[in-house]
Amino acid sequence: MSSVKPAGPDATRFKDQLDPAAEAIVVADSVSSAPVRPVTSSLRYRPVGDFQSSLPELSAVNFDPWRQTVLLVLGDERVEIQEGEWSSKRRIHVGHTGPIRDAKLAPGGGFLGVLRSAKMLEILEIDESEHSTSVQELVRDSHSSSAILGFEWTFPGELMVVSSSGFELYQYSGTSKNFVKKKSREARINWYSYWPEVRILVTSVGPLALRLYHMKLDSGADSLMTVNLKPKGNTSGVQSQATRKQITVFFVYGRAFLGYFDLTPDPPLLVLYRISRSTPSHSVSYPLDGRGTFIANTVDNLIVVTNVVTKLFLIFDMKNDGTEAVVSTARIPVQDENDIDAVIEWQPCFPDYILVGSRGMLYCIQVDLQALAHDMRENSSGLAVVTFLARRDMDDPTFVLQIVAEMMREGASVDQMRKAFDPLNSRVRQIGPSDTPQGMIRDSSTDSVNSLGSIGTSENNLNGSAAGSPTARRKHQAHAGSASTLQRALARSHEEFNATRRQLCTQELLFANVFEPLSKEATFPSVYLTSCLFEYIASLSVAARQTVQPCFHELVCDLLLRDNRHTELHQLVQYNVVEDSAAVARRLLARGDVYAPFKQLGLDMLKRLDANNEVADVLLNRGEFLDALRYAVSRSVTTVPPTSFLEAALQSGDRTLFLNTYKCLEDRGMMTAAHADQAVAGLPPGSAAGRYVSVFREMWGEVVEMDSMIDM
């Protein structure tokens, strides 16, 4: 939860400058003369909260991104709660018992904690009306040095109070109607920060020492790693201590990281430590640009670092090779100079919100992937851009496919194309109304139930598809405690996650946007296109274990036939790389005159597909009448007109063959014996079939009569 103090009278100015209905602030800059890239629209700041009406009396703002609640402290005796997409506003009278240093709403909205001073925390019970009732006062005045640093609502009915001598965990007791201390940890704490989404408490236990805890249901707290920060540059004076603003926690690609802005070297560094239960593992150091004050957010698993002094931002992707920024030193897209002035007050809210208290605004950061990809294309290979985009959360992957097609037009190596196809095929996104920019996708490569990252993921996933709705988020938060064990929660979340997966770049999209158009370009090398197609099919079949759509097999078939690569196609059909389909079978049969084995392959394929009519037709057309008849009989084909067989038998000039054919059809019900003198089954009397009946009578009438006599 983040809080800021408003900037006073200047804050009103904000009202005239910002149109809350605006989709985003995207404008030119005129502030810095630093050698930075031109204005980029790869980041957008979408206004999501507006509390300007409260600005005149506002003394502090708290935003809880997890519960999507803004809590405004108005003077010393009222708080305003904005929730439900900020449509609902409640003003609560908390009484006038001193200044309000901090106020936070409990999950479910039943309790409000108000920190009156460094010694006293008051807990109030609130109801739907604007009144509140004091439930309890937690006082820490046994030692003069003892001070309450802050408090956090961890789970429904659970409270953590952090003081300079440690932290205590309280749980609400229904019988005593107050919060009972369940556990406490002694430690000398200089400051702390709490990250509710991953339930990680970071405490400063020394100038450069941090100890981390993982909060658990039922007042549990697991000790995590202790980090001794080691600044790279000279540590003198103030820089020898890590401040709260230098520390952040990231949750990217399903893993939690502790971020430390090391300001001592030049350029400063953002150092990320993978959070674990034991020793910290130093992950990576990202060089920042210039000196200043840095804030960080995560958007769609990207780390956005903003220098609020220089008004520049960088975007890092942990999965990129190296430590170079994806977007380096781009200027913050703000509307005008007033907005530029306000950047210095920007307060990051985990994960992708920016709170500007002085302006009474809350923004959500969004990445414009299309613009970002365009920028990346200038310096990066197509493969790098595609793999980058494949990791992103996109609704419309069409422009990714455009880059794929572009790569192929540029003649990227087939190996590179395979590397591009693999992530596109394996990439999935969650179905549902979720439009949260936060990374909801679990990357399979980082899928580890034992990692702490999974903890955060599991809780995200427990939200299911309703994660995007603040209301739903709160509801989930209220019930999050129902998971009895972490493992059970993980298992359940995993199931739910898998149940709601779908492919982002579907085969149909790739076919329609890449392969089909390229196959129609007369100048595009079909050999290369075929190789790319094979790699795509291999990627689907081997890497993504998906069934390949028939259109790809047909296209492979067409391309190979176009190039007269008959033997190759023959082997591909033989090994089922080109799978059976009626369309492929027909193509093979049509080319049978040029490459004889295709006649066999096509017919076999039709047989496997149980296209019995077509098989019989093909055999009859080839003049293989007996085979056609045998096949029809063995497969009980009744839909091929008996006249086809009878005509073929008659044309052979073999009377016995005609007799046998006639009787064979008759025995198998393909001719109705009762009407044999008139018609063939399915055909009206007097039709063409009647001719064969007459011929039969003429040829073999005596035999038929003898048969009848024997039967008698």
> In angstroms, what is the minimal distance from the CB of 3 to another protein?
56
542 contacts another protein (rule: CB under 8 A): yes
541 contacts another protein (rule: CB under 8 A): yes
Angle in degrees, 0-180, between the axes of helices 550-562 and 566-574, rounded to the nearest 10 = 150
> In angstroms, what is the minimal distance from the CB of 576 to another protein?
5
Contacting another protein (CB under 8 A), which of 46, 566, 663, 668?
566
Contact 22, 47 (CB under 8 A): yes
> In angstroms, what is the minimal distance from the CB of 565 to another protein?
9
575 contacts another protein (rule: CB under 8 A): yes
Which of 316/536 has CB closer to another protein? 536
Contacting another protein (CB under 8 A), which of 182, 245, 274, 607?
607
Count of residues making up the chain: 712
Contacting another protein (CB under 8 A), which of 53, 133, 323, 413?
413
Number of residues that bind another protein (CB under 8 A): 34
Residue 597 to residues 178, 568, 579, 591: CA-CA distances in angstroms?
Answer: 85, 12, 17, 9
HSE, side-chain direction, 13 A CA sphere, residue 132: 26
Residues 626-655 that bind another protein (CB under 8 A): 626-627
**Residue for token pair 């990227």:** 412
Contacting another protein (CB under 8 A), which of 77, 222, 324, 568?
568
624 contacts another protein (rule: CB under 8 A): yes
What single DSSP character describes residue 511? I
Tokens in use for 273?
């430590």
Which of 319/599 has CB closer to another protein? 599
538 contacts another protein (rule: CB under 8 A): yes
Which of 291/608 has CB closer to another protein? 608
> In angstroms, what is the minimal distance from the CB of 567 to another protein?
6
Which of 86/595 has CB closer to another protein? 595
Q: Is the dihedral of CA 358, 361, 365, 371 positive or negative?
A: negative
Q: Identify the helix (H) or strand (E) that includes residue 634.
A: helix 625-634
596 contacts another protein (rule: CB under 8 A): yes
Angle in degrees, 0-180, between the axes of helices 526-538 and 414-426, rounded to the nearest 10 = 40
Contact 214, 222 (CB under 8 A): yes
571 contacts another protein (rule: CB under 8 A): yes
d(CA 119, CA 21): 43
**Residue for token pair 């909801």:** 440
Which of 141/654 has CB closer to another protein? 654
Contact 63, 356 (CB under 8 A): no
The amino acid at 297:
N
Stretch touching another protein by CB under 8 A, among 85-93, 312-320, 445-453, 568-576: 568-576
**DSSP alpha helix (H) spans, 229-304:** none
Q: Is the dihedral of CA 413, 415, 416, 418 positive or negative?
A: positive
Tokens in use for 659?
């007799």
Which of 423/456 has CB closer to another protein? 423
570 contacts another protein (rule: CB under 8 A): yes
d(CA 621, CA 183): 87
Contacting another protein (CB under 8 A), which of 600, 621, 651, 656?
600
617 contacts another protein (rule: CB under 8 A): no
> In angstroms, what is the minimal distance from the CB of 642 to another protein?
21
Distance between start and end Cα atoms, the chain: 99
657 contacts another protein (rule: CB under 8 A): no
Stretch touching another protein by CB under 8 A, among 245-253, 436-444, 564-572, 637-645: 564-572
Contacting another protein (CB under 8 A), which of 226, 500, 531, 660?
531
Distance of CA 482 to the CA centre of its chain: 26
The amino acid at 602:
G
Positions in the binding site for another protein (CB under 8 A)? 413-415, 418, 531, 534-535, 537-538, 541-542, 566-568, 570-572, 574-577, 595-597, 600-601, 603-604, 607-608, 623-624, 626-627
